[in-house]
Amino acid sequence: MRRGRTFIISGPSGVGKSTVLKALLDQRSDIYFSVSATTRKPRPGEIDGVHYHFVSVDTFRQWISRDEFLEYAEYVGNFYGTPKRFVDDAMDRGQDVILDIEIQGALQVFGKRPDTVRIFIAPPSWTELERRLTERGTDSPEKIQKRLLRAKVEFQTAHTYDYFVINDTVENAVGELDAIMTAEHCRPEERMEIISGR
């Protein structure tokens, strides 16, 4: 049985990453979408193991000291991290894994696992990203400009990623993600092993 692979998906706020990932997961039910661990308290309706793995600060510290995270970070007083265990279990079962994480986290994961594939979801244009952020209606014009600037800075760092998927339409973006996942299973390392044994 072929082993699963891990795909990091990053992208700026407003690019439509969640919508694209939802559509991808609807289409490919064999994918494991990584659930983060956090020390934040659950909000009403949030289920342990589904939205997050909710753990105590002590547990989180223990996991860090045992090197049980692929990446972790602090955000407004709470800790968030990707536990290795669930990712490895899924890959052993043959499932591809998606990590929905930011560039900083991606760098940590890539440092530990250089065979992780990094995909950046980009807007078709900056004007279009601004339009989407405005249409969302959750941010002030100042906040939108700040997000746009941040996206442009991120974009410069993202040149180290393996792939850029442009979210012009959800259908195209999902098609490209699916193609990348198929292509990455055609790498010689994986295939030589299969064929050599026969």
Beta carbon of residue 76, minimum distance to its own copies (angstroms, whole number): 30
- Look at residues 93, 128, 156 and name the one whose alpha carbon lies nearest to residue 14: 128
| C-beta closer to its own copies: residue 7 or 63 | 7
DSSP 30: T
Q: Which two tokens stand for residue 124?
A: 């078709």
The minimum distance between CB 184 and its own copies, in angstroms, equals: 8
Question: Minimum Å distance from CB 168 to its own copies?
Answer: 11
Q: How far apart are CA 127 and CA 45, in angstroms?
A: 36
Encode 111-138: b = buried (16+ Cβ within 10 Å), e = exposed.
eeeeebbbbbbbbeeeeebbebbeeeee
Cβ proximity to its own copies, 41 vs 198, nearer residue: 198
Taking the least distance from each CB to its own copies, the nearer of 64 and 179 is 179
- Positions touching its own copies (CB under 8 A) are 119-120, 122-127, 155, 158-166, 175-176, 178-180, 182-184, 186-188, 190-192, 194-196, 198
Long-range contacts of 15-18 (CB under 8 A, 24+ apart): 15/121, 15/122, 15/123, 15/129, 15/132, 15/151, 15/167, 16/121, 16/132, 16/167, 16/170, 16/173, 17/100, 17/121, 17/167
CB of 81: closest distance to its own copies in angstroms? Answer: 27
**Please, what is the minimum distance in Å from the beta carbon of residue 136 to its own copies?**
20
What would the two tokens of residue 87 be? Answer: 């990712």
Which of residues 37 and 103 has its CB atom nearest to its own copies in the complex?
A: 103
**Residue 104 or 125 having the CB closest to its own copies:** 125
Least distance (Å) from its own copies to the CB of residue 179? 4
- Nearest in space to 123 (alpha carbons), one of 170, 157, 184: 170
Nearer to its own copies (CB atom), residue 60 or residue 96: 96
The Cα 64–Cα 61 span in angstroms is 5
